[in-house]
Amino acid sequence: MTYKEWFESHGKKHRAVMERLGDLGDDEVIAYFRFENMVEQEPAFCPLYQMNKKCHDMEILNCYLCGCPHFRFDDHGFYKEEEKTVYSYCAIHSAHGGKLVSKEAIHQDCSRCTIPHQESCIKQHFKRDWFEMMADVYKISN
Ligand code: SF4
């Protein structure tokens, strides 16, 4: 699956959940997206839910901002770094982020970064439209 395919597919799933939640207030929406509730209510939202497995080891893991508004990707590559193509990076250079480096490619590694799963971060970036929240991650018209 390409980044773009994941982005579009996940955004549609997020939108479908939001449509089901209707007029629920913002704080209630954020609470609804807590991992334990999502496993129960929205089993198709994430493949990890079927295994009841969190992507990050956090007591309160919230899935509202999955992915991350600081992530940047381009399936065609942004630029070259030491002759490898950079396909994704972190716009805030999070100290918890890393790089997945192969022979020809560099991808951002967010496996040790919990920023977007913290409710304080979600409140800061909160919009009810996921695509709007992620507008800097990828331009959908690309
Ligand atoms: S390293 Fe953290 S802040 Fe940066 S893109 Fe990944 S999850 Fe977001």
Residue nearest to atom 2 of ligand 1 (CA): 113
Q: Is residue 141 part of a domain?
A: no
- Residue in 140, 105, 108, 125 with CA at minimum distance from that of residue 9: 140
Q: Is residue 142 part of a domain?
A: no
Q: Is residue 115 part of a domain?
A: yes
Domain that holds residue 8: 3-133
Q: Are 114 and 96 in contact (CB under 8 A)?
A: yes
Burial of 2 (0-12, 13-18, 19+ CB in 10 A): exposed
Q: Is residue 76 part of a domain?
A: yes
Give exposure, 35-56, as e/b (b: 16+ Cβ within 10 Å).
beebbeebeebbeebeeeebee
The domain total for the chain is 1
Burial of 134 (0-12, 13-18, 19+ CB in 10 A): buried
Check: pTM over 0.85? Answer yes or no: yes
Tokens 């331009």: give the residue. 139
Q: Is residue 112 part of a domain?
A: yes
Q: Is residue 70 part of a domain?
A: yes
What atom of ligand 1 comes closest to residue 89's alpha carbon?
5
Centre of ligand 1 to C-alpha 78, Å, is 17
Centre of ligand 1 to C-alpha 90, Å, is 5
Q: What is the largest CA-CA distance in the chain?
A: 50
Q: Is residue 111 part of a domain?
A: yes
Predicted pLDDT at 140: 58
Q: Is residue 49 part of a domain?
A: yes
Centre of ligand 1 to C-alpha 71, Å, is 6
pLDDT in tens, the chain (142 residues): 999 999 999 999 999 999 999 999 999 999 999 999 999 999 999 999 999 999 999 999 999 999 999 999 999 999 999 999 999 999 999 999 999 999 999 999 999 999 999 999 999 999 999 999 999 998 655 4
